[in-house]
């Protein structure tokens, strides 16, 4: 079994009725539902109000951590972000969705600003530019998202090890929408679609990509944090 933990800050859904109407169980609930329908995947969810549950114990018991956040990145304690960073370096998989580009764990892992340009309310065509990649299996040449937030270049990230999807927007912009990296022993996937007011996580291709990414990011080898030479914080060496 692949053990997945989904972190969603779960603030928009509680504060904005329009977002709650799209995701009545929260974005984390939607992701847990479609991932949990697979026989080889079990899912736990954590939100900002329960973020202290992201302990070493839970992270050791997590093969792949999925992260969605937007307006409350700053409310995630630094020590939890550092803990996530260290577990990725030791082999845990990490999937950052949409506005998680500015989350503390993702910017820590990338080591860059991860800034980009954006505009709400555009149409997106997601191009599969690496059809041989495990994350692209079952996805055609391209698929459409009727309404999605435009994210545009330059996306300030380290050059991805593999670029699987390229997003094109009606406004003319393009974006590196599906990017893979290895950091330490961990595998990282960033996927751009997933604005909170659009039903993007109900789209079959989006669900297939995230499911494929979970299987791709699952660690094949994992090191105990205490022995891992790629962790950096003093806490990790205790
Ligand atoms: Zn957004």
Q: What is the pLDDT of residues 72-102, one digit of tens each?
A: 999 999 999 999 999 999 999 999 999 999 9
Residue 61: inside a domain: yes
Residue 186: inside a domain: yes
Question: What pLDDT shows up at residue 128?
Answer: 98
Q: Measured between alpha carbons, how far is residue 175 from residues 50, 97, 190, 196, 210 in Å?
A: 33, 14, 12, 19, 18
Please give the residue range of the domain that contains residue 24: 2-112+178-225
Question: What pLDDT shows up at residue 236?
Answer: 53
Residue 220 maps to which CATH number? 3.40.50.880
What is the number of structural domains in the chain?
1
Question: How many CB atoms within 10 Å of residue 113?
Answer: 12
Whether the pLDDT of residue 237 is over 70: the answer is no
All residues at 6 or more sequence positions from 37 whose CB lies less than 8 Å from its CB, including other chains: none
Read off the pLDDT band of 189 (50, 70, 90): very high
The structure's pTM equals: 0.97
All residues at 6 or more sequence positions from 24 whose CB lies less than 8 Å from its CB, including other chains: none
Separation between Cα atoms, residue 27 and residue 87, nearest integer Å: 24
Residue 25 C-alpha to ligand 1 middle, in angstroms?
A: 18
Whether the pLDDT of residue 179 is over 60: the answer is yes
Q: Measured between alpha carbons, how far is residue 190 from residues 16, 57, 66 in Å?
A: 26, 25, 10
Read off the pLDDT band of 238 (50, 70, 90): very low
**Helix 204-217 vs helix 26-36: crossing angle, to nearest 10:** 70
What mean pLDDT is predicted for residues 48-60?
A: 97
Cβ-contact 44, 5 below 8 angstroms: yes
Question: What pLDDT shows up at residue 191?
Answer: 99
Whether the pLDDT of residue 146 is over 60: the answer is yes
What is the DSSP pairing of strand 117-128 with strand 41-47?
A: unpaired
Question: In the block, which residue shows the tokens 């977002």?
Answer: 19
Residue 195 C-alpha to ligand 1 middle, in angstroms?
A: 4
Residue 43: inside a domain: yes
Give backbone dihedrals phi and psi of 198, rounded to 5 degrees, phi first.
-115, 145
Residue 27 C-alpha to ligand 1 middle, in angstroms?
A: 12
Cβ-contact 35, 43 below 8 angstroms: yes
Residue 151: inside a domain: no
Residue 13: inside a domain: yes
Cβ-contact 224, 92 below 8 angstroms: no
Neighbours of ion ligand 1 (CB under 5 A): 99, 149, 195
Residue 156: inside a domain: no
Residue 169 C-alpha to ligand 1 middle, in angstroms?
A: 14
What is the DSSP pairing of strand 186-191 with strand 64-68?
A: unpaired
Whether the pLDDT of residue 233 is over 70: the answer is no
Residue 156 C-alpha to ligand 1 middle, in angstroms?
A: 17
Residue 72: inside a domain: yes
Read off the pLDDT band of 230 (50, 70, 90): confident
Residue 158 C-alpha to ligand 1 middle, in angstroms?
A: 21
Question: How many CB atoms within 10 Å of residue 174?
Answer: 14
All residues at 6 or more sequence positions from 159 whose CB lies less than 8 Å from its CB, including other chains: none
Whether the pLDDT of residue 205 is over 90: the answer is yes
81 is written with which tokens? 């972000």
How many alpha carbons fall within 13 Å on the CB side of residue 176? 20
Residue 208: inside a domain: yes
Residue 196 C-alpha to ligand 1 middle, in angstroms?
A: 6
All residues at 6 or more sequence positions from 203 whose CB lies less than 8 Å from its CB, including other chains: 143, 145, 193
Question: What pLDDT shows up at residue 177?
Answer: 98
């Amino acid at each position: 079994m692949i053990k997945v933990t989904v972190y969603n800050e779960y603030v928009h859904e509680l504060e904005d009725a329009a977002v709650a109407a799209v995701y009545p169980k929260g974005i984390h609930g939607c992701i847990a539902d479609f991932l949990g329908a697979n026989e080889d995947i079990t899912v736990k969810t954590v939100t900002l109000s329960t973020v202290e549950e992201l302990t070493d114990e839970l992270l050791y018991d997590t093969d792949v951590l999925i992260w969605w956040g937007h307006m409350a990145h700053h409310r995630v304690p630094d020590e939890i972000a550092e803990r996530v960073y260290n577990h990725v370096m030791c082999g845990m998989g990490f999937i950052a969705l949409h506005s998680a580009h500015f989350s503390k764990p993702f910017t820590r892992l990338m080591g860059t600003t991860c800034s980009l340009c954006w505009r709400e309310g555009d149409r997106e065509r997601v191009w599969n530019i690496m059809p041989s990649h495990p994350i692209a299996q079952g996805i055609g040449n391209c698929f459409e998202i009727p309404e999605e937030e435009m994210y545009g270049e330059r996306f300030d990230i380290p050059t991805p090890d593999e670029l699987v999807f390229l997003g094109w927007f009606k406004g003319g912009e393009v974006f590196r929408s599906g990017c893979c990296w290895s950091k330490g022993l961990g595998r990282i996937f960033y996927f751009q679609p997933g604005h909170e007011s659009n039903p993007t996580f109900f789209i079959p291709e989006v669900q297939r990509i995230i499911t494929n990414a979970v299987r791709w990011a699952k660690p094949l080898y994992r090191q105990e944090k205490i022995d891992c030479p790629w962790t950096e914080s003093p806490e990790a060496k205790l």
